[in-house]
Amino acid sequence: MIKGKFIDNLPKVYGIYTGGFLVFIILMAIAEQAGMSAKLIGIFFVAFTVAIYAIIGYLSRTVQVDAYYVAGRQVPTVFNGMATAADWMSGASFVAMAGGIYFKGYGYMALLVGWTGGYVLVASLLAPYLRKFGCYTVPDFIGTRYGGNVARLSAVLVLTVASFTYVTAQINATGTIASVALDIPFGIAVYVGLASILLCSMLGGMRAVTWTQVAQYIVLIIAYLLPVFWISNKMGAGVFPHLMLADEVARIAELESQFGLGTVKNSAADLATVPKGLAGITKAHSEVNTTPWKFISLAVCMMAGTASLPHVMMRYFTTPSVKAARRSVGWSLFFIFLLYSSAPMLATLSKLSLMDPNLATGIIGKSIADVQALDWYQNWNQANLMFVSDFNGNGTLELNEFFMGGKAVVLATPEIAGLPYVISGLVAAGGMAAAMSTADGLVLAIANALSHDLYYKIIDPKAETAKRLIVARVLLVIIGFAGATIAALEIQGILGSVIWAFDFAMSGLFFPLVLGVWWKRANAQGAVAGMLLGLASGTAYLIWVRTGGAGFWGVTQLTFGIVGSLVSLVSMIVVSLMTKAPDAATQKMVDEVRVPSGKTVLGKQH
Amino acid sequence: MSKQQQHWEKTRGLLFITLAIWFVFSIGIFFFGAEMESSSIRPFGYPLSYYMTCQGSLGIFVILIFWFAGRQEKIDEEFGFTEREDS
């Protein structure tokens, strides 16, 4: 009833939505001038946006299998690009990335290259072929292409390990933001975050997640770009920061050497007084500060991981055609590029506004007492994200005496640069949107794999539609709660577990997926060996390095996917060649996948 | 050679070109980080190494995917494997 019309009217619907959101920002700005408290503005921003997502989720409810699993395969190219970008850019991209660049500079930017370069692999190696296949989930492809429940189960296992590692980090991020914005304890905020995530996805599955993700992309990109442009213009650094910050980058290098970066070091006793999780600048901003192999190995892991993470891949199952899937990857990357290319600019602006003594906001070189009296310093010090200490006792703040948490670069820079609080509220809403959209996609990917591949395909193939969808929803809630419970324990940081998720996915799924399309001779035995041995060896390497192992080839705990995927590739080829070639029907299936025209391999309803 | 084999041959050719370009800008140039940094080529005034990591390679990937999609559509068309609009 609404559906056909809704798809035709998408640009209009989201145009009105964007306009409405801008009006809301202006209203909040007026309210701030009229004396509304910062706390209340933050609550309004987060509550208002989450309420909208929940309404979209409710309106997209469905009782149809293909709407629940693949949004009815009618999401237009550009909108699928936006949804993928939101799906992709997590709390880590939004909140932590600029911070990472701020502290580590060039070496850290390997993540920027890796998290974008992977899309070339997605577009050329996988997405169009999996779309032609017509599967609902990634294990659905593995299970049908290779045949047999063992292959299907192995794929479910890898998917669950990788996505679950990822999702705890995202629920953690929604909890952090909800606790700051709504002023509630983290342990409760985690469940508030979870409730909002489930509101979006439970009733409508993939269809609901798609349309909320588009809405979330619009919020998060406005929330990221507006402060970057605003701060740049306010500082007089350039109207269009991306093309005009070269002088600022050079100025930072000059200040770094002037303030003795790298020569003045903190003693271990001094550092022990710094609160956990905070860091000072120890790496140069724009200088090449890492070995080529370190940079490249990290980028390679992120790229192969991108092409194996199921929550991204399944977004391309929702397009109307193979051609649309291919183009949609391009749009996804374009929308991601808008944010990623801005992160280094934000890091530059943030660093300069803190460091440059010629700017009113600069604090390095000022007296410690003055800095401690600043409003924003007190706020963020209280939030445990900022710290100064007069180690050398000279009364002025040196570069090595100022410490900040990674999240603070995105969350606090607007306030430091003197922007009105309404911008900080907007940034909180953006961070919430980024973390929620990714968590939604991940929880759905896991629950769908378990309900479709494990329950329907293996346990009860005769289950009726209504029962299948109930099982899917129950699993969604269970997975969500399990994720939130682990997130509440706060075992690891957000960024570390995100990187691990990529390595897990790459270890177990990259080669079984790619060779499933590109190598006809690959068979079930080979694929199972590839998935299980890849995952096992990657995990073993991680544990070994974590428990003090030396490692080899310079592969660290952040790049263990290199070991896992190599084992996966070798074992898959060896075992495939040692066992029987796939039968004629399977070979024909691969042939069909390779041409865009004709029917999908799996039927519309399966 | 059947029509389908020829189509796949061309598709594979395009894949290799695409992956070669991808390799250069995602892996190849980063073997030369130090050389790029001291290079006199400075896009918009940024050091080349810094520029490639935060904008250059990323932008090239976006263009590369759209170019790839266009070429693949042409190949599909040439062999009559384009999808019908209504399917």
* SS3 of residue A286 by DSSP: coil
Binding-face residues of B in 25-54 toward A, CB within 8 A: 25-27, 30-34, 36-37, 42, 44-47, 49-50, 53-54
Indicate yes or no: CB of A287 within 8 angstroms of CB of B36: no
**Residue A121 is inside which H or E element, if any?**
helix A110-121
The residue assigned the tokens 């959101």 is: A21
Binding-face residues of A in 535-594 toward B, CB within 8 A: 591, 594
Q: Which of B3, B19, B30, B81 has the most A C-beta neighbours within 10 Å, making it the best mutation to test the interface with A? A: B30
Q: Minimal Cα–Cα distance from A600 to chain B, Å?
A: 10
Indicate yes or no: CB of B30 within 8 angstroms of CB of A113: yes
The residue assigned the tokens 């949609």 is: A328
Q: What whole-number percentage of chain A has pLDDT above 70?
A: 98
Question: How far apart, in whole angstroms, are the C-alpha atoms of residue A170 and residue A95?
Answer: 11
Whether A362 contacts A235, CB under 8 Å? no
Q: Considering only CB atoms, which chain B residues are within 8 Å of A114?
A: 26
- pLDDT > 80? residue A265: no
pLDDT of residue A509: 95
Indicate yes or no: CB of A327 within 8 angstroms of CB of B69: yes
Measure Cα distances from A429 to A180, A224, A349, A449 in Å.
Answer: 11, 10, 21, 30
Measure Cα distances from A195 to A28, A86, A487 in Å.
Answer: 25, 19, 14
Give the residue on B whose Cα is nearest the Cα of A244.
B44
Indicate yes or no: CB of A124 within 8 angstroms of CB of B55: no
- pLDDT > 60? residue A181: yes
Question: What does A394-447 look like in DSSP terms, one character per residue?
Answer: SSB--GGGEEEETTHHHHHHHHHTT--HHHHHHHHHHHHHHHHHHHHHHHHHHH
Whether A323 contacts B83, CB under 8 Å? yes
pLDDT of residue A521: 92
Binding-face residues of A in 76-115 toward B, CB within 8 A: 106, 109-110, 112-114
Query: Which of B34, B81, B82 is the closest to A288 by Cβ?
Result: B34
Q: Considering only CB atoms, which chain B residues are within 8 Å of A128?
A: 72
Average pLDDT along chain A = 88
Residue A269 lies in a domain: no
pLDDT of residue B86: 46
Indicate yes or no: CB of B31 within 8 angstroms of CB of A106: no
Helix then strand then coil, % of chain A, to nearest 5: 75, 0, 25
Indicate yes or no: CB of B61 within 8 angstroms of CB of A109: no
**Most confident of the following: A124-133, A172-181, A255-264:** A124-133
Label residue A412 by pLDDT band (50, 70, 90). confident
* SS3 of residue A1 by DSSP: coil
Beta-carbon contacts of A361 under 8 Å, excluding residues fewer than 6 positions away, are A353, A354, A416, A417, A418
Residue A382 lies in a domain: no
pLDDT of residue A289: 82
Label residue A38 by pLDDT band (50, 70, 90). confident
pLDDT digits (tens, 9 = 90+) for A207-263: 999 999 999 999 999 999 999 999 999 888 888 988 888 888 888 888 888 887 877
pLDDT of residue A3: 53
- pLDDT > 80? residue A55: yes
DSSP-derived letter for residue A583 is: P
pLDDT digits (tens, 9 = 90+) for A511-529: 999 999 999 999 999 999 9
Give the residue on B whose Cα is nearest the Cα of A250.
B46
- The CATH number that applies at residue A442 is 1.20.1730.10
Averaged pLDDT, A16-38: 93
Bigger pLDDT: A104 vs A603: A104
Any chain B CB within 8 A of the CB of A183? no
Label residue A5 by pLDDT band (50, 70, 90). low
Label residue A542 by pLDDT band (50, 70, 90). very high
Indicate yes or no: CB of A117 within 8 angstroms of CB of B61: yes
pLDDT of residue B85: 57
Whether A596 contacts B81, CB under 8 Å? yes
What single-letter amino acid sits at A26?
I
Q: Minimal Cα–Cα distance from B65 to chain A, Å?
A: 5
pLDDT of residue A4: 55
Residue A305 lies in a domain: yes
A278-279 vs A386-388, strand pairing mode: unpaired
Among residues A481, A444, A451, which one has the least CA distance to residue A466?
A451
Q: Minimal Cα–Cα distance from B59 to chain A, Å?
A: 7
The residue assigned the tokens 């192995």 is: A154
Question: How far apart, in whole angstroms, are the C-alpha atoms of residue A540 and residue A543?
Answer: 5
In total, how many domains does chain A have? 1
Indicate yes or no: CB of B26 within 8 angstroms of CB of A288: no
Label residue A279 by pLDDT band (50, 70, 90). confident
Q: Provide the CA A38 distance to its chain's centre, in angstroms.
A: 28
pLDDT of residue B38: 85
Among residues A50, A123, A97, A158, which one has the least CA distance to residue A498?
A97
CB contacts < 8 A (A, B):
146
Query: For chain B, what is the largest distance between any 2 Cα atoms, rounded to a whole number of angstroms?
Result: 55
- pLDDT > 60? residue A2: no
The residue assigned the tokens 């300069």 is: A352
Any chain A CB within 8 A of the CB of B60? no
DSSP-derived letter for residue A453 is: I
* SS3 of residue A589 by DSSP: helix
pLDDT of residue A1: 40
Question: How far apart, in whole angstroms, are the C-alpha atoms of residue A236 and residue B76?
Answer: 51
pLDDT digits (tens, 9 = 90+) for A282-336: 888 888 888 899 999 999 999 999 999 999 999 999 999 999 999 999 999 999 9
* SS3 of residue A185 by DSSP: coil
Question: How far apart, in whole angstroms, are the C-alpha atoms of residue A171 and residue A440?
Answer: 10
* SS3 of residue B11 by DSSP: helix
What's the pTM? 0.92
Range of the domain at A436: 3-250+286-349+420-496
Any chain B CB within 8 A of the CB of A290? yes
Among residues A155, A176, A362, which one has the least CA distance to residue A252?
A362
Residue A479 lies in a domain: yes
Residue A307 lies in a domain: yes
Q: What is the pLDDT along chain B (87 residues), one digit of tens a residue?
A: 788 899 999 999 999 999 999 999 999 999 998 888 888 888 888 899 999 999 999 999 999 999 999 999 999 999 888 887 544
The residue assigned the tokens 């706060």 is: A490
pLDDT digits (tens, 9 = 90+) for A469-491: 888 888 888 888 888 888 877 76
Q: In degrees, to the nearest 5, what angle opens at C-alpha A200 toward C-alphas A181 and A474?
A: 120
**Most confident of the following: A190-194, A414-418, B2-6, B70-74:** B70-74
What is the SS3 assignment for A469-515? HHHHHHHHHHHHHHHHHHHHHCCCCHHHHHHHHHHHHHHHHHHHHHH
Q: Minimal Cα–Cα distance from B46 to chain A, Å?
A: 5
